[in-house]
Amino acid sequence: GQASARNLGLKYMQENDYQIPWVTFTDPDDFLDRNYFYEVDKFLATHQDDDICMIGCNVIFYYEKQKLYKDNHALNFKFKNGIQVKENYNLDSFIQLSAASCFMNIGYLDKLLFDEKLKPNFEDAKFINEYLLKNINLKSAFLPTVKYFYRKRGEGNSTLDNSNKYSDLYLLVSRRGCLKLLQENKFYDIFIQNVCLYHFFWQIKFLINSPEKLSFMSESEKQRYLELLDQNFSYIDKNTIMEFNLAGCWFFHKIGILNCFKNEKPPFQIAYIEDYDPYKEQILLTYYTGDDENIESIFVDGEEVHVDYEKIVEYDFLDRAFCYQKRLWVHIPKNAKDKLEMFINDEQSMIGKYDEYFLNIKNIRQEFQKRLPKSNIWLLMDRDYEADDNAEHLYRYIMQNHPEQKIVFALRKESLDWERLEKEGFNLVEFGSLEFERIIKKASKVISSHADGYLTRYITSKQQFIFIQHGVIPNDLSKWLNSKKIDLFVTSTKAEYKSIANDYNRYKFGKKEVALIGLARHDALLKNNQCNARQIVIMPTWRANIVGVALGSSKRGLQSDFTQSEYFKKWNLLLNSNILQKLCEKYDYTVVFNPHPNIIPYLKEFNIPSYIKIASQNESLQKLFCNSSLMITDYSSVAFEMAYLNKPVIYYQFDHEEFFSSHTLQKGYFDYEKDGFGPVVENEENLLKELENLLQNDCNPFGIYKDNIDLTFAFKDGKCCERIYKILRQII
């Protein structure tokens, strides 16, 4: 490995008695600026009496695939103010971790060697910082003009890129690297604490709310890792943590680290103003804490005001609570004039920003005014290329029942739905056009079944964004949805509502934003249902790792190795199964294959037998569900549409573990085995057995599956659109 190669070089120099005072360890993948050695030599020539033992060089990333140079290393601040010379005991945040991008004086090495057992990383950091500790009274210099070009490979397969996939990073490095270094740090030098804090911070960021990323480790290994973190942090002071601002570390992380690994509270608190509701004249105050039982007191002009809505968000680190976020919606009284203050457990909190202890009410009122829209137009849309979802159904209801409300429906002109909706009298605007941009700017509400970036990038603080959803959410989409500004979040099942709006989950949305009122399209679904249909629909979802990258719309690039994926092979085999064909003939059923929109570009790769019909992209999905009596899917939320119609589902989950570790979602409250609407199978043989059982039973759900179907939905009354419209009128 790298450590043994570096040791070999050091031994070679010692054995051959090289009279060279300085050594560096350039990695073979990387390359150096043409004046690299010249600039070092020039500096040393003028600083011979300065007791310098180390020179740090300026790391510039070279992105091989794009042929791009980027000066964005997390430690590049060391090179922003010219040449810096520091005493080693005063290095503090000027930490050095790479032996490739520094020079060390051989005379001060004193037979120090790299630890060859330390893998997959940190061997450099340990070596350098042991060296600096041995020479604590000497100095280090950081030279901006000495540029070291670090190659970032296109495949992302360097030692550093892949290190987080090895248990040794979490166990061996934590014990043999960081802990040993901290234990050697007899005088608690801050730079040594910062080296280890910096190392652990990348892991902490990576693992917050993502326990599945360590699924390759056993439970006992994870517990050992947590114990090692506790041990390491016992050598890192509270003050060092509070002062640490490297690699994107901010107050949230500091609160979490203190709570999770030291069981300590911060010396002060900061509350943030995260949002304003100009209609209800409320502001959203948020703060992070390790104690979910804090008591907050909020004062306006010296009078205590009560919190209208409270939400407690939990951030987890493996099986521990990392920290909590408390989200408090507070009404600003009409007669308020002066200031707003906040106390947590009787101690005054900073508010808004560091070192400010109150908010000026005048500024809050100005913010309310700024956020009020200029008109009361509502803009509705589903996908940019496709309608036939909740926005279309809600639009139709408003058009027919509340013609006084100004509404516009956005869609791309090349969409197969454009002509159909135009004939029906929809007021259409072309998505992305100048007219669309003009309308969305002045709209008071943007109402959509999707929350993708190609739409949300148009939404400002002046519009309310109403997420009427694409379907029921069975999995944890908090990582994605928390990045969105959502003013109303529509849900349709009791379990889904609780999983989002209740306290102690990962979603930032609470009872102010989340409403249990049903999906708009379910009214028509119920009305048009066919009870005696003899059709099976095969409708799997997609996988993020087998399709191309998003192209700034709902379209994606093509992936050349799609047919090599397990996904393609398994579904293609099922479609070509002789047993499937015989079962359909025996029980007189037809089969329709309806791939996910992200899989449609690969449809030609599937060998689809003539008896299986491919769903028409012109035909409404509603019609497909109403005319089918059974669905075969994998993880798709469309299973809930069938359940709404009292129809069973078979879940074909051959890649269960991989799906939840590599897709765009995380496992949520919904357990397919316990809560599902039909059997879960992992292979084709069991799928076909379960299919025959259901066909024999005329596709009537039975047992636990029937109970689940009966208990899931809050409403099956044909009044979902009416409820949504009512609440839309209430939130203005």
State the SS3 of 669-695.
CCCHHHHCCCCEECCHHHHHHHHHHHH
Q: Give dist(CA 531, CA 713) in Å, integer.
A: 19
The predicted model gives 502-526 an average pLDDT of 98
Place of tokens 């200031």: 339
pLDDT, mean of residues 577-596: 97
Q: Which CATH class is domain 523-712?
A: alpha beta
Nearest of 713, 516, 668, 661 to residue 212 by alpha carbon = 661
Of 315, 321, 329, 259, nearest to 479 (Cα)? 315
CA-to-CA dists, residue 511 to 444, 502, 508, 522, angstroms: 22, 7, 10, 23
Query: In Å, how far are 395, 417, 519, 645 from 389, measured between CA atoms?
Result: 10, 11, 10, 17
- Give the range among 100-104, 355-359, 505-509, 606-610 with minimum mean pLDDT: 355-359
Torsion-angle region of 352 (φ positive above 0: left; ψ -120 to 50: alpha; else: beta): left
Predicted local confidence at residue 13, as pLDDT: 86
Residues 6+ apart with CB under 8 A from 396: 424
Beta bridge partners of 323: 315
* Helices and strands, number each (H, E), in the chain: 28, 30
Alpha-helix runs per DSSP H in 219-331: 219-233, 238-243, 251-262
pLDDT of 592 strictly over 90: yes
Q: Report residue 191 as tokens.
A: 């730079």
Q: Contact 492/514 with Cβ under 8 angstroms?
A: no
Residue 559 contacts residue 567 (beta carbons within 8 Å): no
22 token code pair? 């300085």
Q: What angle do CA 654, 688, 675 make, to 5 degrees?
A: 60
Q: Distances from the Cα of 296 to the Cαs of 175, 255, 339, 462, 603, in angstroms?
A: 40, 17, 17, 29, 57
Q: Are 512 and 490 in contact (CB under 8 A)?
A: no
Q: What percentage of residues in the chain have a pLDDT greater than 70? A: 98
In this prediction, residue 277 carries a pLDDT of: 94
The side-by-side arrangement of strands in the sheet containing 350-351 is 307-317, 320-331, 282-289, 270-277, 350-351
Token digits for 198?
Answer: 């910096």
In 3D, which of 211, 214, 213, 182 has the Cα closest to residue 199?
182
Q: What pLDDT does 665 receive?
A: 63
Give the C-alpha distances (Å, rounded to integers) separating 617 from 388, 520, 575: 11, 21, 19
Q: Is-contact 269 287, C-beta < 8 A?
A: yes
Whether residue 16 is predicted with pLDDT greater than 60 in this model: the reply is yes
How many Cβ atoms are within 10 Å of 351's Cβ, its own excluded?
21
270-371 fold: Immunoglobulin-like (2.60.40)
The answer to whether the CB of 86 falls within 8 A of the CB of 51 is no
Could you tell me the sign of the dihedral formed by the alpha carbons of 555, 639, 497, 727, in that order?
A: positive
Q: Please give the pLDDT value at position 153.
A: 85
The pLDDT of residue 111: 87
CA atoms of 677 and 649, how far apart (whole Å): 6
Q: Which residues of 21-33 are buried (b: 16+ CB within 10 A; e: fewer)?
A: ebbbbebeebebb
Could you say which DSSP state residue 713 is in?
B
Q: Mean pLDDT throughout 99-123?
A: 94
User: In which region does residue 92 sit, left (phi positive, over 0), alpha (psi from -120 to 50) or beta (all else)?
Assistant: left
Indicate if the alpha-carbon torsion angle 606, 612, 615, 621 is positive or negative.
negative
pLDDT-based confidence at 657, cuts 50/70/90?
Answer: confident
pLDDT tens digits for range 342-359:
999 999 999 987 788 999
Q: Residue 664: pLDDT above 60?
A: no
Burial of 479 (0-12, 13-18, 19+ CB in 10 A): middle
Strand partners, 331: 282
Identify each DSSP E strand in 40-79 by its residue range: 52-63, 68-70
**Which amino acid belongs to residue 69?**
Y
What is the rounded distance in angstroms from the CA atom of residue 350 to the CA atom of residue 300?
15
* CA–CA gap between residue 319 and residue 211 (Å, rounded): 8
Give yes or no for a cis peptide into 120 (omega within 30° of 0). yes
Q: What is the pLDDT of residues 532-553, one digit of tens each?
A: 889 999 999 998 888 877 666 6
So what's the pLDDT on residue 151? Answer: 96
Percent of the chain with pLDDT over 90: 87
Q: What is the pLDDT of residue 216?
A: 92
H helix runs in 334-387, sequence order: 361-371
Whether residue 679 is predicted with pLDDT greater than 90 in this model: the reply is: yes
Q: How many Cα atoms sit within 13 Å of 619 on the Cβ side?
A: 14
Look at 15-24, 176-185, 368-377, 671-680 and tell me which has the smallest mean pLDDT. Answer: 15-24
- Identify whether the C-beta of residue 446 lies closer than 8 Å to the C-beta of residue 417: no
- Tell me what pLDDT residue 557 has: 75
**Which fold, 378-518+721-726?**
Rossmann fold (3.40.50)
Q: How far apart are CA 98 and CA 104, in angstroms?
A: 11
Q: How confident is the model at residue 559 (pLDDT cuts 50, 70, 90)?
A: confident
Helices (H), 34-145: 36-45, 123-134
Helix, strand or coil, per DSSP, at residue 148: strand
Q: What pLDDT, on a 0 to 100 scale, did the predictor assign at position 531?
A: 85
What is residue 619's predicted lDDT score, i.e. its pLDDT?
84
In CATH, what class is 2-187? alpha beta
Summarize pLDDT for 115-172 with one digit per residue, the tens: 999 999 999 999 999 999 999 999 999 999 999 999 998 766 556 566 788 899 999 9
Domain ranges of the chain: 2-187, 270-371, 378-518+721-726, 523-712
Vertex 70: Cα angle to 67 and 73 (nearest 5): 135
Cα–chain-centroid distance for residue 272?
21
Q: Supply the pLDDT for residue 162.
A: 65
In contact, 378 and 410? CB cutoff 8 Å? no
Q: What is the mean predicted confidence (pLDDT) over 256-266?
A: 98
* Same fold across 270-371 and 378-518+721-726: no
Nearest to 271 by CA among 244, 253, 298, 301: 298
pLDDT per residue as tens digits for the range 409-456: 999 999 999 999 999 999 999 999 999 999 999 999 999 999 999 999
Checking if the pLDDT of 82 tops 60, the result is yes
- The neighbouring-strand residues paired with 63 are 68, 152
Where do we find the tokens 């400002």?
A: 460
Q: Mean pLDDT over residues 193-220, rounded?
A: 96
Residue 454: Cβ within 10 Å count: 17
Q: What is the CB neighbour count within 10 angstroms for residue 598?
A: 18
Mean pLDDT, all residues of the chain: 94
Distance CA 100, CA 56 (A): 10
Min mean pLDDT across 166-175, 469-478, 665-674 is at 665-674
Distance CA 379, CA 729 (A): 14
Tokens representing 648 are: 């069973």
Q: For residue 659, name the pLDDT band (cuts at 50, 70, 90).
A: confident
| 78 confidence band (pLDDT: 50, 70, 90) | very high
How many beta carbons lie within 10 A of that of residue 119, not counting itself? Answer: 20
CA distances from 361 to 78, 282, 338, 462 (A): 41, 12, 5, 20
- Sequence-distant (≥ 6) Cβ neighbours of residue 8 within 8 angstroms: none
| Residues facing 1 on adjacent strands | none
Work out the average pLDDT over 389-416. 97
> Would you say 114 and 123 are in contact if contact means Cβ atoms under 8 Å apart?
yes
Residues across the chain: 732
Contacts of residue 331, Cβ cutoff 8 Å, sequence gap at least 6: 280, 281, 282, 305, 308
